[in-house]
Amino acid sequence: MDMREDTELTLVVDRLAFGGKGVARVDGLVVFVDGGLPGATVRAKVTKVKKGFAEALVVETLTVAPQAVAAPCPHFGVCGGCLHQDLDYAAQLFWKRQQVAETLSRLGGLRDVDVAPVVASPDIYGYRNKMEFAFAGRLHLGLHERQRPGRVLDIENCLLMDDRVGDILAFVRETCADTGLAAYDPRTGKGVWRHLVLRRSLATGGRLVHLITAPSRRAGDAAQHLGESLLERFPDVSGFVHSVRRNPMAVAIGERQISALGADHLEERIGEVRLRISADAFAQTNTRAAEKLYAEVARAAGSAPDRALWDVYCGCGGIALALAPGFETVYGVEADKRAVADARKAAKSSGRDNCVFKAGDAATVLADLAATKPAVVTIDPPRAGVDGQTLAAVMDAAPDKLVYVSCNPATLARDLKTLSDLYTLNQVTPVDLFPHTAHIEVVAALELRK
């Protein structure tokens, strides 16, 4: 058929693709259907036509999917924070496992991989210990809209975090609006307010509020007032940090910390490990599921009491500290100096005297560590995967075991294809740290070919 944009089609959705969209077919053409659930019949409007596939948006559900459920959040469908509150959680886990297997097969040529059932999150609501909210206009504060990501939806509350988040959001939104200062606009470089990052410790109940603005003298005074007001108004807010960011890219990371009131970090506990988490630190955002993730990594890594372990892209040290009892020495490698400082303090408070954390470019640091000849290497890279030089350094070290933790099955598939020259992939275990979203964490266990 001659398919064009704005054409309306009746589609039967077969499955969920990696990324969360439904998949249907029309005359052999694949149509990715935003809002389509497996087993549903929908009326959808075509939004994009490309060579070999099309994209469409559900206009009306004609036959409800067998595993559809009512989404409890009033923002669902408009807000871009969730995709699948309307799909039963067991079905979410089923399709995430399928997506991991299909991605490894299609992009990595790994067709006979043992993909274990997904390790479920202990909590499917209220599970996030960190949320990033964006400012826009004069003055919105919330999450980007699902269909119009350039717009910010004012959020009354987010069910992925605890109930108090809505009260803090409303207070910050009103306080910032009262200043008369606008949100930062990356197109013009004007405006002040950029992001609000809320963190909460499950161990202590304390909160850290991180405000990120564009550089501005007026913003500094306004931020100081906001921080003082938050500490006074909300007893569980134990710290407030104000940072500035000049880069126009919309990333909730501060380039320079301006001030801090109260504590400038949180303390968290995952199993026996005590973590120190600063405002910009990377840490797993689902504390209880992270404990399950660490257990899977530990199971795959095993132990070598008289040998070393390298933990590459170690962040604030969670995996390194969790695995430390099984090795003579653990070397954590991380580019972010602030995260390394947190990891060193966490090692001291956790009694992990055999942990050594080094800051710097991973490939360079690993070259310096080559003489330690690790028995095991764990890797937990960002979504872009492992850079070529670092992957080469790991392969040169030739550890007996390699445990790759990934938040992106696509780049995992790419890197596993490279590693297959030296390593056998024994098992892949998905761990769900992100219920109701398209994201999935994966633990890949590899063994050196003898």
Looking at the annotation, which residues are catalytic? 407
Tell me which amino acid residue 410 is: A
- Reduced to 3 states (helix: H, G, I; strand: E, B; else coil), residue 303 is coil
Q: How far apart are the C-alpha atoms of 268 and 150, rounded to whole Å?
A: 34
Q: Say which residue the tokens 């497996």 belong to.
A: 38
DSSP string of 367-408? HHTGGG--SEEEE---TT---HHHHHHHHHH--SEEEEEES-
31 vs 429: CA distance, rounded Å: 29
Q: How far is CA 120 from the centre of its chain?
A: 16
The answer to whether 442 and 381 have CB atoms below 8 angstroms apart is: no
Other C-beta atoms closer than 10 Å to the C-beta of 27 total: 6
Is residue 444 within 8 A of residue 139, CB to CB? The reply is: no
- What are the structure tokens assigned to 422, written together? 């030296």
Q: Phi/psi at 67 (nearest 5 deg)?
A: -105, 20
Answer whether the bond into residue 16 is a cis peptide, omega within 30°: no
Would you call 414 exposed, middle or buried from its count of C-beta atoms within 10 A (0-12, 13-18, 19+)? middle
Q: Per residue, what are the HEC states of 202-266? A: CCCCCEEEEEEECCCHHHHHHHHHHHHHHHHHCCCEEEEEEEECCCCCCCCCCCEEEEEEECCEE
Q: Within the chain, what is the greatest distance between any pair of CA atoms?
A: 67
Q: What are phi and psi of 135, to 5 degrees?
A: -95, 155
- Taking the CB of residue 50, how many other CB atoms lie within 10 A of it? 9
Q: Tally the C-alpha atoms within 13 A of residue 24's C-alpha that lie toward its C-beta.
A: 27
Tokens standing for residue 223: 């931020």
Smallest Cα–Cα separation from 76: which of 20, 157, 139?
Answer: 157
Question: How far apart are alpha carbons 242 and 186 in whole angstroms?
Answer: 19
